Amino acid sequence: MLRTALRNIVAHKARLMMTALAVVLGTAFVSGTLIFSDTVGAAYRNAMSKNLKDVAVSVHAQSPRDADGAEPEDGRRSTALDDRLADRIRALPGVASVRPSLSGSAVVVGKDNQPLGREWGNLGVNYVADQDGKDGRYPLKEGRAPASAGEMALDAQSAQRGGYALGDTVRFATDGPALTKKLVGIVGTDDPQVTSGASLALFDTATAQKLFLHPGQYDELVVAAKPGTDNQALTDQVRRLLPKDRAEATSGTELAAQEAKMITEQTRSLTKMLLTFAGISLFVGVFIIANTFTMLIAQRSREIALMRAVGASRRQVVRAVLAEAGLLGLASSAVGFALGLGIAVGLRPLLNATGAGFPDGPLVISPAAVLAALGVGVLVTVLAAWLPSRKAAKIAPVEALSTVEAPPTQRGLVLRNSLGAVVTALGVAVMLYVYAQKNADALPMAMLGGALTLAGMIILAPLLSRPLVALAGKVTTRLFGVTGKLAKENALRNPRRTAATASALMIGLVLITGMTVGGHSVQRAMDEMVAKDLKADYKVTTSHFDGLDPELSKKAAQVPGVEAVAPLRRVGVTTTGTGFLSLTGTDLSQLPKVTDVRFDSGSYDAVRGNGIAVSRTKAKELGLKPGDTLAAEFFSGTAKKQKLTVAGIYEDNQVVGDALGAASLVDPHKKPFKDDAVLVKAADGKSTGLDKEIRDALGNSPLLKVQDRDALRNQDAGAINTMLNMMYGLLGMAVVIAVLGVVNTLAMSVFERTREIGMLRAIGLARSGIKQMVRLESVVISLFGAVLGIGVGVFLAWAGGSMTASSLPTYEMVLPWGRLALFFAIALVVGVLAAAWPARRAARLNMLESISAQ
């Protein structure tokens, strides 16, 4: 039987080609993801091991607090790590050296005044020279180390991006106005944060302390041990020197373990997401594999009958088919694994182009990745062929000798349709429950309901194919005459085969349609939110989210053409017995000019002193009504309690958030005292082109973000479009596999109908008519899959989109008709392209040979 399986693979290699290609693409996705994950993890660990090479003990500063537990009044970080503590650690037996270091955020701009690195994660550090005058972390490539307050160094990538050379003046900012220093050195680094796109600015220690901390203070003390020293014992000695709750000592071994755990967590989410899409691709491939083996078994029914007649048992027939599937899966998986290597190589630069920030490193191929890819490919292929193999074993020899393919039994169809109806109804019921909840907590239920609905539609697809294909057939018959009618009859000849082929395309379109409708609706809701809630023309924030100096809002108000300025300062508040809310403090006299707050009860005049207004949704969530008194605890740096009175309820407003109060209420609890954002309203006729004047008035710091209303819309729309495009790319693999399924089914169907095609040619149907018949059959199948996919996708988006309403009150489902029409057009093109080769093959069949074919 094994020899029979090998012979069948060789004899039908052309018919198995598309099936093999589907397995190849699916396993390539799996192996590429696993290799990519191992490679990125190894790159992080290699960089980490270099950084921790000589680290025996690492002393980190704890949260910067003053003696009373509050943030320093000046808003600058303060730590307990200072020169005195460093000297005490150096005096310990077994300590070879202590390297004090500190870091902060420094945004460097190029000569075009554009930031050199990402919007986040740009570093500023101190250059710590050893006895040889060098810092092992940052080897000099050009120039020398910064040695005075007017000097700095840059990493090589940033210097190249900014067009800087030694001696140039570099412009940057840390947490305030723009600063300039002379570039005296260019360094290299293995820091993965920098190699993946962030910029690195280096200063002498005294300058770095003035920029990020206080003189004499550090963020970390790195202790190197003398040979033969017990690092754990040394760690315990260092801990005894540290001030309680102000610093923490970690051994190099413990630090390496923590870093390894963090790396695993960082890569796990992305790996899971990519493997999910790989699973979708393989699931789509299951339909192609099952279709292929079902058709092959039908075509080889006489052969199977003869095997049964000469003594082969049912079990042997099953084993032969499964062995054939296993060998096909193994060969395809091996090719897929090789293709996965290319995917793993290309995935890192592709994701880094979107700002992912993965470090460079050699390709890592683990045995687990090899076994997983081969195992998954073989397992999926064998499982998909299991039902066809059982069907082959149940064919009686006499029945098989008398017919090519017996129609499915009525009992089997009734059972399938009944099961499909139950599963679909259950899935729809779950989705309706999710819609009624209108809460993001219903996400697990939404995922379950979506899976059940999709599974039910796959089971019901043969039943649904009859009316939908018949309806499409009326159109093809009217437009194309006899060939259109033949295409309809061919598609209806075997509903299960048609349904399986269309389902492969349907799965991809369900996911693509659902995400497109959801993303488009969220984007529209955000646009409405900006139009509805925001009356300001500009929003001023910082790129590093550390807040704005309150003096900047006063400067903005003095810019010619500015009508109103309202700073927004937010603090977190917990209320006894209720929960959490974010309280926004502002200038209440200016707020109505920059945003439209609609009060259900109360007014701006009532929001004075300890009075606050609460949003409608938050009031409902916390059970609040006007006149209620809250025992509130502020925890933005002070953790002080205060009585608050609910003075009003307003319609949800995204600008002010959960609750609104006077600036005088929030300011004492805002440590450090900074604005989270500043809203600027321009005078009539000045609503455009004012951003440059605002930036100049505020010092034109590289940290500043001055966004107009269009920029705010595009910021949200850009994030959504980036996500959708990435999802389209990942789901594109599943759609490609679905196209292969249509090609495969049509090609094998043409082989089945060789004699029939010969008869059609004999009675006068031209070669062009044969081609048109096959094309129309492909188009009908593709459009059937598109109707189901888009229809189910829209339903899931409608029901699941209700979860967004809790956080985005302006949300309502909006159908992107243009994109939906594009999906239909793509399905039409898929049908035409998928039929190209089968149609050409059918038209080239010899008429006499086809008629005589058995």
The overall average pLDDT reported for the chain is: 83
Instruction: Say whether pLDDT at 721 is over 80.
Output: no
Q: What is the mean pLDDT of residues 542-571?
A: 86
Predicted confidence (pLDDT) per residue in 158-175, tens digit: 999 899 999 999 999 887
**Residue with the larger pLDDT of the pair 52 and 835:** 835
Q: Running DSSP on this structure, what letter comes out for residue 365?
A: -
Under 8 Å between Cβ of 186 and 155: yes
pTM value is: 0.72
The length of the chain, given as a count of residues: 854
Residue 75 makes CB contacts below 8 A (sequence gap 6+) with 671, 672, 673, 674
pLDDT in tens, 209-231: 999 988 999 999 999 898 888 88
What percentage of the chain exceeds 70 in pLDDT? 89
Say what the pLDDT of residue 181 is: 95
Q: Which of 63-67, 235-239, 287-291, 653-657 has the lowest mean pLDDT?
A: 63-67
pLDDT tens digits along 460-514: 988 898 899 888 888 889 888 888 898 888 888 888 888 888 888 888 899 889 9
The pLDDT value given to residue 121: 76
pLDDT tens per residue across span 768-808: 888 999 899 999 999 999 999 999 999 999 998 888 876 67
CA distances from 742 to 37, 775, 791, 800 (A): 33, 11, 20, 30
853 vs 278, residue with greater confidence? 278
Q: Tell me the average pLDDT across 536-554.
A: 83
Tell me the C-alpha distance between 717 and 707, whole Å.
Answer: 14
Work out the average pLDDT over 58-80.
Answer: 64
What is the Cβ-side half-sphere exposure of residue 500, based on CA atoms within 13 angstroms? 22
CA distance 769 to 843: 8
**Amino acid letter at 156?**
A
SS3 616: helix
Q: Kindly give, in sequence order, each residue whose CB lies less than 8 Å from that of residue 201, ignoring residues fewer than 6 positions away.
A: 106, 108, 122, 123, 124, 125, 152, 153, 154, 158, 170, 172
Q: What is the pLDDT of residue 75?
A: 54
Question: Taking 70 as the threshold, does the pLDDT of residue 719 lie above it?
Answer: no
Domain residue spans of the chain: 1-54+260-406, 55-259, 461-533+710-854, 544-701
Tell me the range of 227-241, 260-274, 833-847 where mean pLDDT is highest.
Answer: 227-241
pLDDT, position 612: 92
Residue 208 confidence (pLDDT) above 90: yes
What's the pLDDT at 210? Answer: 92
Asked if residue 765 has pLDDT above 50, the reply is yes
- CB of 529 within 8 A of CB of 715? no
Tally Cβ neighbours within 10 Å of residue 350: 12
Q: 43 is written with which tokens?
A: 């790159």
**pLDDT tens-digit map of 85-116:** 999 999 999 999 899 999 988 999 998 888 88
CA dihedral 5, 11, 13, 15 (to 10 degrees): -100
Query: Taking a C-beta distance cutoff of 8 angstroms, is the pair 108, 226 a contact?
Result: no
Q: Which residues face 172 on adjacent strands?
A: 108, 179
**CA quadruple 413, 417, 419, 421: dihedral, nearest 10:** 180
Give pLDDT, residue 453. 93
Q: What percent of the chain has pLDDT over 90?
A: 22
Nearest to 26 by CA among 300, 302, 373: 373
* Per-residue pLDDT at 619: 87
Distance CA 209, CA 214 (A): 5
User: pLDDT tens across 615-667, in order?
Assistant: 988 888 888 889 888 888 887 555 567 888 999 999 888 888 889 999 989 88
Question: Tell me, what's the pLDDT at 69?
Answer: 44
pLDDT at 164: 94
Residue 726 confidence (pLDDT) above 80 = no
- Give residue 845's pLDDT band: very low, low, confident or very high (50, 70, 90): confident
Mean pLDDT value of segment 266-271: 76
**What is the C-alpha to C-alpha distance for residues 583 and 612, in angstroms, rounded to an integer?**
8
For residues 353 and 587, the model is more confident at: 587
CA-to-CA distance for 724 and 512, rounded, in angstroms?
9
CA neighbor of 800 nearest in space, from 560, 511, 593 = 511
On the question of pLDDT at 142 being above 90, the answer is yes
- Residue 247: enclosing H or E segment and its boundaries? strand 247-251
